[in-house]
Amino acid sequence: MFENKTILITGSNGTWSREFTKQILLQDPKEIRLFSRNESQQVLMKTDFNDSRLKFIIGDIRDPKAIKQACENVEIAIHTAALKHVTICENQPREAVATNIYGVQNVIDACIENEVGQCINVSTDKVCWPVCMYSKTKAVAEGLIIDANNQTEFTDFISIRSGNIFGSSGSVVPIWIRQIKEQNYISVTGDRMRRFFITVEDAVKSTFKAMELSDRGEVFVPKMDCFYISDLAKVLVEKYGNAKTEIKSIPPFPYERDKEWLVTPEESQRTIETDDFYIVYPLINIRTTDYPKIKKSHKLARGVTMDDAEVSDMDKLRELVRKAGY
């Protein structure tokens, strides 16, 4: 898929982008352009990878000119850049809109102008019935990516809708490990809170599968395991704590909910199920109407909401923790 090609990755210092870089390098690309505004992280990443095929570009997706220049002669664009911390987006909504909405439109315009062959948008399960600024802006971004297919016949735009990336920067896992080591307790919001989890390695592999399957305009949702957050706390205490480590229950934040969805009931009417994915077809009209790569004979999706999802057991959670490198 990537052999001898030029690939652009936005938000290139994050958990997703590092894993994309790692896996794409194995497929002998011509060049990977890593576009972000974090100078110090770029320096660290350049040292960590030490590969001449990587080209680091300082820039901001809010700057249309910068992203258009970065997209010149690019064949595949992978968009991971976003403001993703819920509290920051809630406290500074204009910043969330500027990056997660206007920034996405800038990426779309740059891909169309430069006739990039394929653009992949990294989305989140929190777009289903959004309740906070982060999820609302990401939901709008999904809509913009779908509509982009109406603006060009050359570039194929798709989204990958992921659950929680286990252990990613800013996620609950490193925070809890630090709490255990420094204060010997974990603060948990809600005993029955459930989330879908996936390792970043599996998330990137799923993205590659989606890129191969896609015609254009679909939202690909990898099948993921569902766990109680309280069970995750217990597993981390087993690994990093001791007999005196406490699990303290605290009230959830106003924008937190007990469960997430992979696909809403409304979307499920236009969603098919494969062995690896739930695939949501666009509600709006796009140029591709027959979807030859994924036949309509596939069964309509079932079990896509948190209400239907079976909560995995502790052993499977321990396996996930090990697989994620903890």
What are the structure tokens assigned to 256, written together? 């937190």
Place of tokens 């990516």: 145
Catalytic residue positions?
126
3: exposed, middle or buried (Cβ count in 10 Å: 0-12, 13-18, 19+)? exposed
Look up residue 246 and give its amino acid: E
What are the structure tokens assigned to 243, written together? 């007999």
Beta bridge partners of 160: 122, 220
Rounded CA gap, 289 and 283, in Å? 11
Closest CA to 217 of 151, 295, 273: 151
Place of tokens 């704590």: 241
Radius of gyration of the chain (CA): 20
CA 175 to chain centre: 20
Helices and strands: H and E segment counts in the chain = 12, 14
Angle at CA of residue 307, ends 278 and 273, nearest 5°? 15
Element (H, E) at 206: helix 200-213
* Contact by Cβ (8 Å): 100, 56: no
For 71, the 3-state DSSP assignment is coil
Angle at CA of residue 19, ends 13 and 21, nearest 5°? 75
